[in-house]
Amino acid sequence: MTDRPEMFEGVDRIWQDGEFVNFEDAQVHVLTHALHYGTGVFEGVRCYDTAEGPAIFRWDEHLERLYESAKVYDIEIPYEPAELTEATIELIRSEGLESCYIRPIAFYGYGPLGLNPSESPVETAIAAWPWGAYLGEEALEEGVDVAVSSWRKYSSDEIPTNAKTTGPYVNSVLASLEARGNGYTEAVVLNEEGNVAEGPGENVFLVRDGEIYTTGLSESILDGITRQTAITLAEDMGYEVHETTISRGELYTADELFFTGTAAEVTPIRSVDGNQIGAGTKGPVTDDLQSAFFDLFEERPAEYDDWFTDVEV
């Protein structure tokens, strides 16, 4: 086994198929169906060190999306949602984590190798590890430079974009590699109509004349849970939010742009293809929304209490 990546250095155990196993023992067979055909579904979730202790943010919604993603591929997760919740809480507690990233995954495992996965067992795992700002702390303050990718996002009649499936993430990998290779921090990917879809792992928001726009669900996007959070927070703050089509050209003339995502949280975009957006730093509406987002964890406002699953009860 190669050296452990730094991000996993402190991880002792992973939950795999019903039990907690040592990090080194959390293995799969090389003939695992999902390794060959990408037949897995997964989630990325954050646990925050909140004013009321460690709490998983929007766990129920992530779990619901996991089971819905699984449904698309006839993946029958052999555990009830409550069992995955219990396993996750126990994992976070026993690893002594206060804030972390959580990665549940369910996939067609080791069985006969062929495109029909129905004879392969469904394997399930949950890992958790400490993880800071995905695009860097500076990115949250200063914003990121992005490029429109030459790779297009597949449409939902090719691969359902509302399911979070392992295989199709090669599309995101290509877009990320291209952006980073060209000196940008992240990509924006257009859909087959040539309009804005999303980032490789983020949804896109635009601000114009004080109103907020984000790409609609039929634009070949993942229905991001941070996207839903941002829409709710923005509307509760009195902003008009439009779920719509955003053209490539509108990116360049936006007053503000930002990404949302579990990993990226609320990250300002300061330039697109070298064109400065607004003042070239975090804009006022983005700042307002980003503050409201991080205040959720600092303040645990009662009206959003349903969004939290406490780890210590």
Q: How far is the CB of 91 from ligand PLP (least distance, A)?
A: 19
From the list 262, 271, 286, 290, which residue makes contact with ligand PLP (rule: CB under 6 A)? 262
Given the complex with ligand PLP, which of 14 and 163 has the nearer CB atom?
Answer: 163
Q: How far is the CB of 65 from ligand PLP (least distance, A)?
A: 7
Does 202 sit near ligand PLP (CB under 6 A)? Answer: yes
User: What distance in Å separates the CA atoms of residue 99 and residue 221, rounded to the nearest whole number?
Assistant: 27
Does 109 sit near ligand PLP (CB under 6 A)? Answer: no
Show the site string, 122-161: x = touches ligand PLP by CB under 6 A, - = not: ----------------------------------------
Does 69 sit near ligand PLP (CB under 6 A)? Answer: no
Q: How far is the CB of 209 from ligand PLP (least distance, A)?
A: 26
Place of tokens 């969004």: 307
Place of tokens 């002792």: 12
From the list 160, 261, 268, 283, which residue makes contact with ligand PLP (rule: CB under 6 A)? 261
User: What distance in Å separates the CA atoms of residue 102 and residue 84, rounded to the nearest whole number?
Assistant: 12
Q: How far is the CB of 207 from ligand PLP (least distance, A)?
A: 18
Tokens matching residue 306? 């349903």
Q: How far is the CB of 295 from ligand PLP (least distance, A)?
A: 18
Does 201 sit near ligand PLP (CB under 6 A)? Answer: yes
189, amino acid identity: V
Contact yes or no for 56/182 (Cβ under 8 A) = no
Contact yes or no for 160/72 (Cβ under 8 A) = yes
DSSP the chain: -PPPPGGGTT--EEEETTEEEEGGG----TTBHHHHH--EEE--EEEEEETTEEEEETHHHHHHHHHHHHHHTT---SS-HHHHHHHHHHHHHHTT-SSEEEEEEEEE-BS--SS-GGGSPEEEEEEEE----TT-HHHHHH-EEEEEEEEEPPPTTTS-TTS-BSTTHHHHHHHHHHHHHTT-SEEEEE-TTSBEEE-SS-EEEEEETTEEEEE-TTTT----HHHHHHHHHHHHTT--EEEE--BHHHHHH-SEEEEEETTTEEEEEEEETTEEPTTSS--HHHHHHHHHHHHHHHH--GGGGGGEEES--
Instruction: Give the binding-site size for ligand PLP (rule: CB under 6 A).
Output: 14
Given the complex with ligand PLP, which of 85 and 228 has the nearer CB atom?
Answer: 228
From the list 224, 268, 278, 283, which residue makes contact with ligand PLP (rule: CB under 6 A)? 224
In the annotation, is 164 catalytic?
yes
Span interacting with ligand PLP, options 194-202, 236-244, 267-275, 288-296, rule CB under 6 A: 194-202
From the list 69, 165, 226, 290, which residue makes contact with ligand PLP (rule: CB under 6 A)? 226
Q: How far is the CB of 134 from ligand PLP (least distance, A)?
A: 10
Does 203 sit near ligand PLP (CB under 6 A)? Answer: yes
Given the complex with ligand PLP, which of 71 and 93 has the nearer CB atom?
Answer: 71
Span interacting with ligand PLP, options 123-131, 217-225, 232-240, 301-309, rule CB under 6 A: 217-225
Span interacting with ligand PLP, options 111-119, 197-205, 240-248, 290-298, rule CB under 6 A: 197-205
From the list 44, 143, 268, 283, which residue makes contact with ligand PLP (rule: CB under 6 A)? 44
Closest C-alpha among 212, 238, 211, 208 to residue 227: 212
Instruction: Point out the residues that are catalytic.
Output: 164
Contact residues for ligand PLP, defined by CB under 6 A: 44, 172, 198, 201-203, 222, 224-227, 260-262
